[in-house]
Chain A
Amino acid sequence: MDHIKDLLVILISSSLVSNVVLSQFLGLCPFLGVSRKVKTAAGMGGAVIFVITLASFVAGVINRFVLIRFQVQYLDTIVFILVIAALVQFVEMFLRKAMPALYEALGVYLPLITTNCAVLGVAINNEQAEYGILTGTVNGFATAVGFTVSIVILAGIREKMEYNDIPKAFQGMPIVLLTAGLMAIAFVGFSGLL
């Protein structure tokens, strides 16, 4: 029971309280770049959930059975980045052959998250927090859900912003960053949850 409670706490804290984009600044590139429309943002979010959950599971397994077993934890960065890159490439090929429908939905986004710093960041966070494989995977999933929530909200705001009269110098990225800042303030409010 205690274990389940721990997992729930991780789920809430990783998805809302310490949101991966708005408080840890990981995965900013897709967050700012692919948030013009809600539909594409949701697709990106789905792909990120898929990849991060899978990558944190695989990184957890490798950490437990290779790095710790042979006491080479100092190689973590090199091993994780190569494993994640290979994994995403493999997943793309696998989906294309085996599940064309899912590939249709996520395929476009997969190459864009190969080296998304959020993927590597979650793997390293899991390792530093000494999470087990299950806990690490749940943490990865929760982090990715947090990413999806924030990118979909931002895309919704940006769709409305299309009709606004924005000062010339603030058009494009600056106004998006200001919006993200305001969202970050809102997310700070979640810290009362835990």
Chain B
Amino acid sequence: MNKAGERLYNGLVKENPTFVLMLGMCPTLAVTTSAMNGLGMGLTTMVVLALSNLFISLLRKVIPNRVRIPAFIVVIASFVTVVQLLLEAYLPALNKSLGVYIPLIVVNCIILGRAESYAYSNPPVPSLFDGIGMGLGFSLALTCIGAFRELLGAGKLFGAAVMPEGFEPIRIFGQAPGAFFVLAMLVAVQNAVKNRRKREGKPYEKIDSGCNEDCMNCSDQGCTRRFYDMGGEKQPAEGLRKPSDAAMELIDLDKEEK
């Protein structure tokens, strides 16, 4: 039980997927127009994450190393389909406002990242709680961002008017540009925290290990390596390039003359 609690704390605070690791930015920006949408997306992701973590952990001795990534994808995509059908049946309004971002949970970095880095090498119960903890952390973050944008963009919170009469809503926060601005501020705060920790000699490597600094980090942890890394020491087949090489080359290409 101690282990479970530790996993929950890890997901909610220590390695919060949004505020600390900066994973899964697409849905974070897209659906946080209101606190309710953020919460809905967060909880949907949490259900998928917990179930896929549990099942991948149960199947970890059955899935061969070489084909683990496609296998993870099939497990995740199945749960996304199940959740999508449930939402269509019982919460049609939420399903409509989240739209295409529900099926896109499949390509969310967080889920594949947790499968790869935790569930595939740990027993089922801690994996389940790891999924729940990470999912709660994600929900918390999306709800906070959503509440912030809803408050500024519409003067409401969870749909109820909370701002005084004279408040003029800053509409842009409810629209696409506002999402970029809010995230920019968030990352700036994160950078400031990181810089201070660096100055004080405290550990800071965990912060920003996701898509933030350089997208290539993300592609190395999940996004691209997914289908390419066949695992083991086996050399890539003739005519097949390992994506991490490609990514490194691209970084060099991008940084030359700098």
State the A residues within 8 Å of B (CB). Answer: 22-26, 28-30, 32-34, 36-37, 40, 74-78, 81-82, 85, 88-89, 92-93, 96-97, 107-112, 114-117, 120-121, 124-125, 128, 168-175, 177-178, 180-182, 184-185, 188
Contact of A169 among B27, B181, B188, B246 (CB under 8 A): B188
Contact A128 B100 (CB under 8 A): yes
Q: When chains A and B are docked, how far (Å) is the Cα of A82 from the Cα of B226? A: 11
Contact B81 A172 (CB under 8 A): no
Contact A25 B30 (CB under 8 A): yes
Contact A124 B254 (CB under 8 A): no
Contact B184 A178 (CB under 8 A): yes
> Which residue on A lies nearest to B85, using beta carbons?
A74
Q: Is B161 an interface residue (CB 8 A)?
A: no
Contact A181 B188 (CB under 8 A): no
Residues of the B chain whose Cβ atoms lie less than 8 Å from the Cβ of A128: 99-100
Residues of the A chain whose Cβ atoms lie less than 8 Å from the Cβ of B63: none
Known: A40-B254, A92-B241. 15 other contacts (CB 8 A): A24-B30, A25-B27, A28-B25, A33-B211, A77-B81, A81-B77, A82-B70, A89-B227, A89-B228, A93-B240, A112-B247, A115-B223, A115-B227, A121-B104, A174-B191
Residues of the B chain whose Cβ atoms lie less than 8 Å from the Cβ of A188: 175-177
Q: From known contacts A121-B100, A174-B191, infer whether A108 and B226 are also in contact, taking CB-CB under 8 Å.
A: no
Main secondary structure, interface of B, reads helix
**CB interface residues, B 57-113, toward A, < 8 Å:** 70, 73-74, 77-78, 80-81, 84-85, 99-100, 103-104, 106-107
Contact B103 A76 (CB under 8 A): yes
Q: Can you list 21 pairs linking A and B with CB atoms under 8 Å apart?
A: A23-B176, A25-B26, A29-B25, A32-B211, A40-B250, A74-B85, A77-B106, A82-B74, A82-B77, A85-B73, A89-B240, A112-B247, A115-B223, A116-B223, A121-B104, A124-B104, A128-B99, A169-B189, A172-B187, A182-B177, A185-B177
Q: When chains A and B are docked, how far (Å) is the Cα of A178 from the Cα of B179? A: 10
Residues of the B chain whose Cβ atoms lie less than 8 Å from the Cβ of A24: 30
> Which residue on B lies nearest to A185, using beta carbons?
B177
Q: When chains A and B are docked, how far (Å) is the Cα of A109 from the Cα of B227? A: 15
Q: When chains A and B are docked, how far (Å) is the Cα of A26 from the Cα of B187? A: 19
Q: From known contacts A114-B226, A172-B191, A173-B187, infer whether A40 and B247 are also in contact, taking CB-CB under 8 Å.
A: no
Q: When chains A and B are docked, how far (Å) is the Cα of A73 from the Cα of B120? A: 30
A114 to chain B, nearest CB (A): 5
Residues of the A chain whose Cβ atoms lie less than 8 Å from the Cβ of B227: 85, 88-89, 114-115
Q: Is B140 an interface residue (CB 8 A)?
A: no
Q: Interface centre among A25, A97, A114, A121, by most B CB within 10 Å?
A: A25
Residues of the B chain whose Cβ atoms lie less than 8 Å from the Cβ of A33: 211, 214-216, 218-219
Q: Is B183 an interface residue (CB 8 A)?
A: yes
Contact A178 B255 (CB under 8 A): no
Q: When chains A and B are docked, how far (Å) is the Cα of A29 from the Cα of B213? A: 11
B241 to chain A, nearest CB (A): 7
Q: When chains A and B are docked, how far (Å) is the Cα of A82 from the Cα of B172? A: 37
Residues of the B chain whose Cβ atoms lie less than 8 Å from the Cβ of A28: 25-26, 29, 211
**CB interface residues, B 215-232, toward A, < 8 Å:** 215-216, 218-219, 223-224, 226-228
Q: From known contacts A108-B250, A124-B103, infer whether A169 and B180 are also in contact, taking CB-CB under 8 Å.
A: no
Q: When chains A and B are docked, how far (Å) is the Cα of A178 from the Cα of B70? A: 36
> Which residue on B lies nearest to A88, using beta carbons?
B227
Q: Is B201 an interface residue (CB 8 A)?
A: no
Q: From known contacts A29-B219, A177-B183, A177-B187, infer whether A111 and B211 are also in contact, taking CB-CB under 8 Å.
A: no
